[in-house]
A and B are shown apart, each in its own frame.
Chain A
Amino acid sequence: MSSKYDFPILELENVTFAYSGRETIINNLTLSVGNGEFIGLLGANGSGKSTILKLASGILQQRSGRIDLWEKEMQSYRNKDRAKLLSYLPQLLDINVPFTVRELVGMGLYPYDILPHLTVDEALDAVGLADKAESPLTDLSGGERRRAFIAMTLLQGAGLLLLDEPLANLDIKYQMELLKLLGELKEKKGIASIMALHDINIAFQFEKVMLIKEGTILGMGTPDAVLTGEMLKEAFGVSIEVKRADDGSTYINYGSVL
């Protein structure tokens, strides 16, 4: 992995966050993302994965600490300029308005006043939705809808993608294809992503993972180093056996539960 830039494109330092009048959700979080990095974010429900992504995308503003995008304070960006640098895709895509796929994907170009670096059709090709371009969103399956939004994000052309559970409700086939696509983007264009995940087995595919518990980082690094049985027990509160297959890949064994 070669980086054109030797400084982090996103940096969170000692970030704390709480909704007004509520308990602290994120506590003293420090994190940096380099160009082209591909990070998996793991943790139990309510551990703060979504909040971290919202802080990292500037939707939420930290209580204390520093969040920099390309070495510049996140909140100092003009909205449009920030949108060219990072793109955020929430977990819930509950939209019942019949935008066509083409219209939706085209929204990825909203931050730009110039011609696109990529066309809507190319973005649709990339997610395998070329034949659904004119279909209304409301006619798509959950997975197709997810891919349409990914295409919109691709068209937005940001160098940093913050994806909240993008693999949720995707068939295994599309989970694989999406991961492959993001891998290619990383290789070809140096696009970095942080992706909140549920499936620990998939996390083993990542170069770098981050394990969260109650708003703090339990561990960050390669999956083998972070996703140990001990750490997973700490994060999820359940004993999980981490096994290594003959081919060297790692997987977890839930044991016999039923």
Chain B
Amino acid sequence: MFRLKLLLLLITLALVFLGSLFLGPKIISPFGYNDIEKEILVSIRMPRSIVAVLMGMALGGAGAVLQGILRNPLADPYILGISSGASLTAAMGLLTGFYVFGRFSIPMTAFIGALLVTLLVGAFGRKRGVILPDRLLLAGVGLSFLFHAILMLLLSLSTDEGLRRTMLWMYGDLSLAEWSLIPYGTVLVLLGLGIAVSRFKALNALILGDEFAHSLGFSAHRERLILFVSVSLMTAASVSLGGTIGFIGLLMPHIMRFLIGADSRLLIPASAVAGGAFLCLTDLIGRSIMPPMEIPSGIITAIIGAPYFLFLLRRSNVLKI
């Protein structure tokens, strides 16, 4: 039954992906395209759609893991400031010319930022081992403001190469997608998802609470750290692929919990697949509804996601997972 649902999700993703290739501002027939259309498919739509799927998967997966570890249904890499932390360190890395990891420099610096923020938010939101949901959220919001301000500061001081990237990170935008981004993006996203899915038992136990996790044979601290690393990998991947896009990490796990159930073993891959399909779809919408202009995907996901966030806030039991 669950496997069937997961299969259906994958089929949906495949359909959306094909749609984003052949639909768009102009429809291209899959059965006969000219050279120009072929060029558009290969150089523009294909890398862009793949990047959208990878980013969406990373964000959906990261959201599912974060909501579990933090026992908070409002957790999302964007809301908790993890995305902006990743953007900030990546921007700092660029500005200081930090190229130790070669091609992986940007995602690596983003990863460091994401991990630091995750740990910071985690530490802020806990008091003597108990998670304080409101404090957690406020810590995330506070950090988000701070990083945004520092990014703005960097922006006004930066050299122009840094400037260009930084702007991209502040406002998620997939129009820069190109083939060269895809290999490392794939590696990071799959690594992050792989770690998360392989620790699904620990995550389920952590959702019950640290004491349950302990009783069921897990070190809550160690498992949480491993899962934080996985969230940070996915967030860093998505930020370095196309900047900060919000609310996918919030929306997907909720919808999937409803459709598939709460078991992390299925919830993580399902949220990832759904996130991929969702971002691919919103990007398709963003570049198709007002041609020749484009609306950045981040704007569309926020228009859908922010009201849902408010709706969730209204529910009384929302602050505890």
Contact = CB atoms under 8 A, between A and B. Distances in A.
Given A97-B207, A107-B208, A84 B217 contact: yes
B222 to A, nearest CB: 9
A156 B317 CA distance: 30
Given A88-B211, A95-B209, A79 B217 contact: yes
Contacts of A111: 216-217
B204 A94 contact: no
Given A95-B321, A96-B321, A59 B214 contact: yes
Nearest to A104: B208
B216 A107 contact: yes
Interface stretch (B230-238, B240-248, B257-265): B257-265
A194 to B, nearest CB: 14
Interface in B281-321: 317, 320-321
Size range of the interface on B?
A: 20 to 34
A66 to B, nearest CB: 20
B313 to A, nearest CB: 15
A58 B214 contact: yes
Contacts of A86: 215
B216 A96 contact: no
A153 B208 CA distance: 13
A149 to B, nearest CB: 9
A208 interface: no
A103 to B, nearest CB: 5
A65 interface: no
A136 B320 CA distance: 16
Given A107-B204, A110-B201, A90 B321 contact: no
A95 B215 contact: no
Given A95-B207, A107-B208, A83 B215 contact: yes
Interface in A77-103: 79-84, 86-90, 94-100, 103
A97 B216 contact: no
B263 A103 contact: yes
A195 B13 CA distance: 50
A97 B210 CA distance: 15
Given A100-B261, A110-B201, A57 B215 contact: yes
B72 to A, nearest CB: 10
Given A107-B204, A110-B201, A110-B205, A88 B214 contact: yes
A7 interface: no
B212 interface: yes
Contacts of A103: 204, 261-263
B26 interface: no
Given A79-B218, A83-B216, A94-B320, 11 more contacts: A58-B214, A59-B210, A81-B217, A88-B214, A95-B209, A99-B207, A100-B262, A103-B204, A107-B216, A110-B218, A111-B216
Interface string A196-229: 0000000000000000000000000000000000
B3 interface: no
B113 to A, nearest CB: 29
